[in-house]
Every structure is written in structure tokens, then in C-alpha cells.
């Protein structure tokens, strides 16, 4: 299991940031590896909502399903992937008002199964690089 964390500060109010993150269809705007995202089941922004994504990790386009597992407005949005492959990703955005703006802390856990467990020890640097890119792109999106 590998964990990464990122942090973004924005002058936007917490309610606006929460609404943006809870709507997973916004992810193609700031996640470089998400090509598209659409609501597949449930009510958008609510626990149990499932989203179909087209993602392009390492240059190969594939489908992925992600579930919104927790939505504690306006302080937390949690998720997990539902794919049957050798990797499961789960995490949460934790939001906190700071003055008139918002701090966003994202904690992500990557769990591997099968043959990938043998390579898990070497995944840290590449996962941190991806997390840093997400942080940079989300910051740019929230701080135009």
C-alpha cells in the first residue's frame, strides 16, 4: 500500500470548492489523465454515486469506475475506484476554511494486488510525481 498527499490553497470559499470537487464530472478539467467522466448511477455529488471515466494512464486509454463514498458538506469528499484490476485507489479531499479562502488536503491510498505487489516498493516516486501534477493543476483551476 502506498499513500500520497497534496495540498492546495485557494481564495475561493469552501462551499464553492466543495461543490466543484463533489462533482466528479469536473475532473477532466484538472486531472491530466482523465479524458472524460460521466455519472453512471446514483445522484451526482451524493454518497453512492458512480461515475464512468475514460482515463489514459501511461499512454493507454481505458475505462474506470469510481464511486463517491462520502460527502460531508462542506468539509470532505471521499472516493474509491471499483475496477477489478490489480490496483485500487481510494482517498478523500479534506476542506478547511482559512480566512475567506479554503485549504484542500488530498490523501490518496493505492493498494496493489497480484503481480503488482512485487513492484509496489518502487512506485513511490512515480505516484508522488502524479500527485504533484494533480496538485499543480487543481491549484491552477481554483486560482485563475
Averaged pLDDT, 119-127: 69
Place of cell 462542506: 74
Task: List residues bridging with 71 in a β-sheet.
Answer: 77
Which strand (E) or helix (H) includes residue 78?
A: strand 76-81
pLDDT band per the 50, 70, 90 thresholds, residue 44? very high
**Res 124 pLDDT > 90:** no
- Dump pLDDT digits (tens) for 86-107: 889 999 999 999 999 999 999 9
| CATH 3.30.70.2660 corresponds to the domain 2-142 | no
Higher pLDDT, 82 or 86: 82
For 39-47, which contacts have Cβ atoms below 8 Å and span 24 or more sequence positions? 40/65, 42/68, 45/19, 45/71, 46/71, 47/71
pLDDT band per the 50, 70, 90 thresholds, residue 110? confident
CA angle 23/28/30 to nearest 5° reads: 90
Task: Take residue 22 and report the three cell numbers written for it.
Answer: 463533489
pLDDT of residue 123: 66
**Res 39 pLDDT > 90:** yes
* Of 55, 51, 1, residue with least CA distance to 21: 51
Amino acid at each position: 500500500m502506498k499513500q500520497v498527499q497534496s495540498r492546495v490553497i485557494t481564495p475561493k470559499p469552501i462551499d464553492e470548492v466543495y461543490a466543484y470537487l463533489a462533482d466528479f464530472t469536473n475532473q477532466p478539467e484538472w486531472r491530466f489523465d482523465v479524458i472524460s467522466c460521466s455519472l453512471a448511477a446514483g445522484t451526482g455529488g451524493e454518497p453512492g454515486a458512480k461515475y464512468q471515466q475514460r482515463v489514459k494512464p501511461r499512454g493507454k486509454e481505458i475505462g474506470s469506475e469510481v464511486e463517491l463514498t462520502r460527502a460531508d458538506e462542506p468539509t470532505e469528499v471521499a472516493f474509491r475506484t471499483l475496477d477489478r484490476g490489480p490496483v485500487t485507489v481510494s482517498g478523500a479531499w479534506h476542506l478547511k476554511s482559512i480566512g475567506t479562502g479554503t485549504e484542500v488536503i488530498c490523501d490518496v491510498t493505492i493498494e496493489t494486488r497480484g503481480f503488482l505487489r512485487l513492484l509496489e516498493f518502487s512506485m513511490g516516486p512515480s505516484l508522488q510525481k502524479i500527485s504533484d501534477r494533480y496538485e499543480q493543476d487543481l491549484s491552477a483551476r481554483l486560482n485563475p
